[in-house]
Structure 1
Amino acid sequence: MVTPRDLRKPPARERLHATVAEELEEQILTGELSVGDRLPSESAIAQSFGVSTRSVREAIQVLETKGLVRRRHGERTVVVRNDVSHFLGTLAINLHQLFASDPAYLRQLMDVRRMIEVEVAESLARREVPIGPEFSQALAELRAAADSGDHELFAERDAGFHAALVASAGNAVLTELYRHLFDLIISVIRVSSRVPTKSLERAYEEHARIHDRIASRDPAAAAQAVREHIDNSASYLEIALRQAQEKDD
Structure 2
Amino acid sequence: MAQPAGSAQPSFTLPIPTRAPVGRQVRVPKTAELVAGQLRRQIVRGELQPGDALPSESMLMEQFGISRPTLREAFRVLESEALISVRRGAHGGARVSAPDAEVAARYAGLILEYRGATLGDVYQAAAFIEPPCARQLATKHTPEDIARLREAIAAEKAVLEDPLALVDAQDAFHTLLVELTGNQTLILLSGMLRFIIDRANASQVAQVSETGTPTAQARKGHRAHVKLVGLIEAGKADEAEKLWQRHIAGADDYINAAGPKTVLDLLGD
- TM-score of the aligned structures, taking structure 1 as reference length: 0.60
Whether the 8 Å CA contact 2:83–2:96 is kept in 1: the answer is yes
Give how far 1:208 is off.
Answer: 1.0
Corresponding residue of 1:3: none
Q: Aligned residues: percent identity?
A: 19
Corresponding residue of 1:232: 250
* Whole-Å separation in 1 of the counterparts to 2:162 and 2:220: 14
Question: Cα–Cα, structure 1 residues 80 and 114, in superposed 2: closer, same or farther, change >3 Å?
Answer: same
Structure 1: 5+ residue runs without aligned partners? 1-27, 45-73
Are positions 1:106 and 2:123 aligned together? no
Corresponding residue of 2:87: 40
Corresponding residue of 1:56: none
* Whole-Å separation in 2 of the counterparts to 1:104 and 1:200: 25
Corresponding residue of 2:140: 127
Whether the 8 Å CA contact 1:34–1:79 is kept in 2: the answer is no
Whether the 8 Å CA contact 1:192–1:240 is kept in 2: the answer is yes
**What does residue range 115-194 of structure 1 map to in structure 2 within 5 Å?**
115-127=128-140, 129-130=142-143, 131-146=145-160, 149-193=161-205, 194=207
Corresponding residue of 1:241: 259
Give how far 1:110 is off.
Answer: 0.4
Give how far 1:168 is off.
Answer: 0.9
* Whole-Å separation in 2 of the counterparts to 1:242 and 1:37: 34
Give how far 1:201 is off.
Answer: 2.0
Structure 2: 5+ residue runs without aligned partners? 1-74, 210-214
Higher relative contact order (Cα pairs below 8 Å, separated by 6+ residues): 2
Whether the 8 Å CA contact 1:142–1:154 is kept in 2: the answer is yes
Please give the secondary structure, in 2, of the residue aligned with 1:154: helix
Whether the 8 Å CA contact 1:191–1:240 is kept in 2: the answer is no
Question: Cα–Cα, structure 1 residues 76 and 140, in superposed 2: closer, same or farther, change >3 Å?
Answer: farther
Corresponding residue of 2:223: 205
Whether the 8 Å CA contact 1:121–1:214 is kept in 2: the answer is yes
Question: Cα–Cα, structure 1 residues 142 and 35, in superposed 2: closer, same or farther, change >3 Å?
Answer: closer
Give how far 1:32 is off.
Answer: 3.9
Corresponding residue of 1:11: none
Give how far 1:241 is off.
Answer: 3.5
Give how far 1:243 is off.
Answer: 9.3
Give how far 1:172 is off.
Answer: 2.0
Paired AA for residue 119 in structure 1: P
* Whole-Å separation in 1 of the counterparts to 2:226 and 2:76: 36
User: Over the residues paired in the alignment, what is the CA RMSD in angstroms?
Assistant: 3.6
Q: Comparing both structures, which one devotes a greater share of its residues to helix?
A: 1
Q: How many residues align?
A: 181
Corresponding residue of 2:95: 78
Larger radius of gyration: 2
Question: Cα–Cα, structure 1 residues 243 and 40, in superposed 2: closer, same or farther, change >3 Å?
Answer: closer
* Whole-Å separation in 2 of the counterparts to 1:34 and 1:204: 36
* Whole-Å separation in 2 of the counterparts to 1:188 and 1:229: 16
Corresponding residue of 1:25: none
Whether the 8 Å CA contact 2:175–2:191 is kept in 1: the answer is yes
Give how far 1:154 is off.
Answer: 0.9
Give how far 1:144 is off.
Answer: 1.1
Corresponding residue of 2:13: none
